[in-house]
Structure 1
């Protein structure tokens, strides 16, 4: 499919990290239109179904605004056991998240949905595991002071200072940052948007 025949690709995310990750694989969305939805977990909702639901809802909302376009959305969730950690919006929340993850493994679930030009939705979920070192109070203080945690799931960003606090990880670095590139490329290829 030539570029002129290809449907417009709309990224349903305000995340500059997702745009940067797409650029790494040579994809530039035709437009960016974030989906403003209620991201509160449902009662008893587990992390993986939650991530998949939020990504699907974001895509559906934006797809309704762009008939005939392809819509790509994503959601990244940090989970300790069955507990979904919030996007840290204040220092207290960031500290709580870091203390909870200190010295233990947690999962990063990165869900993506692609709605093609015909309205067909395709979904993928990438699961990664991350282990933080045992964090000392001064390390938590320094990280919180950096401000890097703001708005990040679980209160940290792999692509920043937190990388020096991680002793081990398994999975996709791009998924931990916010967009699993292997799965994204597979969805775009399946939908005929790239070859």
Structure 2
């Protein structure tokens, strides 16, 4: 029974050493992280309208709703200015618009201005997109292929050493006529 406790302790030690450290990088706290691949977005709200924009690379998807009940705005005309550049917007559904940006969004704050005309109602909405591209980390956090291979090789080595040790104890016990 003693050899099982020794094996369990050795495996626990090896796994504890193989786990990569999860720590905050300089300038970041330990609070909840944004989901990986989160797209930059903005929201511009007035008494009448709410406009939400989601940018994925060069594609911009816009959602235009009534602020009072969050229902899509029917038959609206939308003009958009992004960082001082007019952006052509195409209506693809009720309250749904898309645009193709000439280039991906630049790092930093970008002002957004939208003119909305829906029937007799018109409104100018403004917001800012604060986008910073993810910095390339010097090393990956988590289980990389190399880490997994090293941990597996280490486990196999520990298992081999313990197997040889147990086998030698059993052989010694058999020669002496007792049980291990």
TM-score by length of 2: 0.21
Please identify which structure carries the higher strand content: 2
Q: Which structure has the higher relative contact order (CA within 8 Å, separation 6+)? A: 1
Please identify which structure carries the higher helix content: 1
